[in-house]
Structure 1
């Protein structure tokens, strides 16, 4: 199978060269100033990748939300992938995943007071968010690393540990959406979904292979699972509306996912269960009647005791699916996921972000604290050749 995959990739290599020429020409137009990147008067932090498929953007954006929501009036701006609406739209408590996309829906549900907006034209979206009546202090751009019409103050590039960009190839032979040199635009690079048992040698090898510039900072994160799972379709009467992560040890678990890269989740949860059965669909998958039948039949064939575990992102779509059996609905649990920084680097990352926001905020309350950080950040800022100062 692996040999066939490599052979197919080799046949596609000429197409990758043509694709690379097109993307490279577009990037050159931005570098020459023919295509314009727009900066804004408020701190803008972009989180994204240069590969097809998920790298854990949503939990990383959520980390930034938790970090900044008590410091500033924060907004998350997303394209709203696969939504059924168009133009600029601000999410409300009545918004559905169909209205705004599954990831923005997940964030709005988790942070009801957070301003979540969608707009394919990010510059227009930011312009609206920082004006009346929103008056946002900080904009977090979800999946916007390649949206070069906006010039963020901090550009965060996420790289999946299991699909490192340094070993990948351009589309369609590989998964890269632009040449590897695109990583040079990042201020921060985060290797995501790392196993917890990485050795010091693993870190050194990846750090060297990433070949980053001195102005770029490299972090490693892993998935951290909440201790409590909750029933997706809770009618308020079920005595089993919540269960502990430890309770899965005696369960035959069907792991139902529609994410791009479930590998690390499968590896993490397998030892925590009696037996784990993965049922994986493509990223942002829209479940069909045939899929629902497959879910029902797969679960029905599993031995007792049994349950289904899915992600928050998938829950946004599954909650609207019709035809799931009563047995499935009574045993379908959602597992919240966060990120955890490895090598004790979380405080360092957090202070870099908070320092940037305070220094560049137009909000006088936020800017008040920036003098406390200037001394700490001054040594780093001398080494920076970009607009961002840490």
Structure 2
């Protein structure tokens, strides 16, 4: 922790105390929370920044979509619209949110909705002509007005919640003991060949509660890049100079992956969920070939010539215990 952030520690104690009081009021039933007949899975984290929520939501969609009517519900961070919106896939990212639009583009057969009120969003989903069998709440671990039936808590390998502090001195949205609400804890962005010793050390540091299950996952990058009408091998970029454009919390793993492939590129980094301005779009159009993330592609695809814009997909892989993890999800989906 930097010296400047250490000075903010008293404010962290205050903020953490407020969040803890809020959680206790929900736990005691003083603040009301609504449960639903339909299975609701909440995916989230304790910290701000990227923990791999979108790849995990896509993993769950892939697991469930062939046997259940699946819906995802997000707040649609930084979207220009408000209220409930059921996506058809043709909305601009600024209206729907980049991640929900990514889900709908990749899985057009599922229902994807946004609503800043999760209660209202679920209610609207359930009155559709063909209501969902399972609802996945994206980034909803702190949303206590809805009681999910299954909570999946993500924490990144290089920045475990157990080693962090509450905002503003640290990056936690709530005190670390909020993790007790989780049913499944997933350490994300692990090395693909994480050792048994490393896993044991992490388990000891997280201090899980009885009944909580721990899993480890890694991010897998595609060997192909995708444009609107063309798919190219990643190695094709060894022949061409390009600009990497990122608007994500931590682009360094992606940068490292591309450098491992001996690719030469410039990097234009923007804040997470960045809405590109007209002047920024103009500058990017002058760069020629652009490579970006799938999330950023949703915000750029209507403004950059299709022959110049490609994205590199990523997927989540459960390092071990995949069958146990998937069984927990499928067993829950079958409960109601």
Q: TM-score range by the shorter chain?
A: over 0.9
Aligned to 1:272: 261
Residues 1:98 and 2:90 aligned together: no
Residues 1:318 and 2:300 aligned together: yes
Match 2:205 to one of 209, 224, 246: 209
The Cα of 1:89 is off from its aligned counterpart by 1.4
Residues 1:255 and 2:244 aligned together: yes
Match 2:174 to one of 175, 178, 181: 178
Aligned to 2:310: 333
Aligned to 2:319: 342
Aligned to 1:242: 231
For the 8 Å contact 1:252–1:273, the answer to whether it is kept is no
Q: Please give the alpha-carbon distance, in whole angstroms, between the structure 1 residues aligned to 2:242 and 2:218.
A: 22
When residues 198 and 132 of structure 1 are mapped into structure 2, their CA distance, relative to the original with a 3 A threshold, is closer
Q: Please give the alpha-carbon distance, in whole angstroms, between the structure 2 residues aligned to 1:220 and 1:267.
A: 21
Aligned to 1:62: 58
The Cα of 1:330 is off from its aligned counterpart by 3.4
| Larger Cα-atom Rg | 1
For the 8 Å contact 1:248–1:273, the answer to whether it is kept is no
TM-score, with length taken from structure 1: 0.81
The Cα of 1:259 is off from its aligned counterpart by 0.7
Q: Please give the alpha-carbon distance, in whole angstroms, between the structure 2 residues aligned to 1:249 and 1:107.
A: 30
> What runs of 5+ residues in structure 2 fail to find an aligned partner?
none
TM-score, with length taken from structure 2: 0.94
Q: Please give the alpha-carbon distance, in whole angstroms, between the structure 2 residues aligned to 1:255 and 1:210.
A: 35
Match 2:112 to one of 112, 116, 126: 116
Residues 1:195 and 2:191 aligned together: yes
Q: Please give the alpha-carbon distance, in whole angstroms, between the structure 2 residues aligned to 1:105 and 1:280.
A: 21
Match 2:224 to one of 199, 211, 228: 228
Q: Please give the alpha-carbon distance, in whole angstroms, between the structure 1 residues aligned to 2:92 and 2:167.
A: 32
Match 2:31 to one of 14, 32, 35: 35
- Secondary structure of 2:7's aligned partner: helix
Q: Please give the alpha-carbon distance, in whole angstroms, between the structure 2 residues aligned to 1:270 and 1:211.
A: 36
Deviations 1:317-374 (A, max 9, x none): 11234xx5x6xx634311111111112x22211111111111x22xxxxxxxxxxxxx
The Cα of 1:276 is off from its aligned counterpart by 4.7
When residues 10 and 30 of structure 1 are mapped into structure 2, their CA distance, relative to the original with a 3 A threshold, is same
The Cα of 1:54 is off from its aligned counterpart by 1.8
When residues 189 and 154 of structure 1 are mapped into structure 2, their CA distance, relative to the original with a 3 A threshold, is same
Deviations 1:291-322 (A, max 9, x none): 3455456x47xxxxxx532111000111234x
- Secondary structure of 1:48's aligned partner: strand
Q: Please give the alpha-carbon distance, in whole angstroms, between the structure 2 residues aligned to 1:320 and 1:101.
A: 14
Residues 1:71 and 2:67 aligned together: yes
For the 8 Å contact 1:130–1:137, the answer to whether it is kept is no
Q: Please give the alpha-carbon distance, in whole angstroms, between the structure 2 residues aligned to 1:135 and 1:231.
A: 33
The Cα of 1:15 is off from its aligned counterpart by 1.1
Q: Please give the alpha-carbon distance, in whole angstroms, between the structure 2 residues aligned to 1:62 and 1:316.
A: 16
Whose RCO is larger (CA < 8 A, sep 6+)? 2
Q: Please give the alpha-carbon distance, in whole angstroms, between the structure 1 residues aligned to 2:200 and 2:240.
A: 38
Question: How many residues of Structure 1 are paired with residues of Structure 2 in the alignment?
Answer: 336
> What runs of 5+ residues in structure 1 fail to find an aligned partner?
235-240, 301-306, 362-390
Equivalent residues in 2 for 1:350-389, closer than 5 Å: 350-358=326-334, 360-361=335-336
The Cα of 1:35 is off from its aligned counterpart by 0.5
For the 8 Å contact 2:188–2:217, the answer to whether it is kept is yes
For the 8 Å contact 2:301–2:309, the answer to whether it is kept is no
The Cα of 1:247 is off from its aligned counterpart by 2.9
Q: Please give the alpha-carbon distance, in whole angstroms, between the structure 2 residues aligned to 1:271 and 1:320.
A: 30
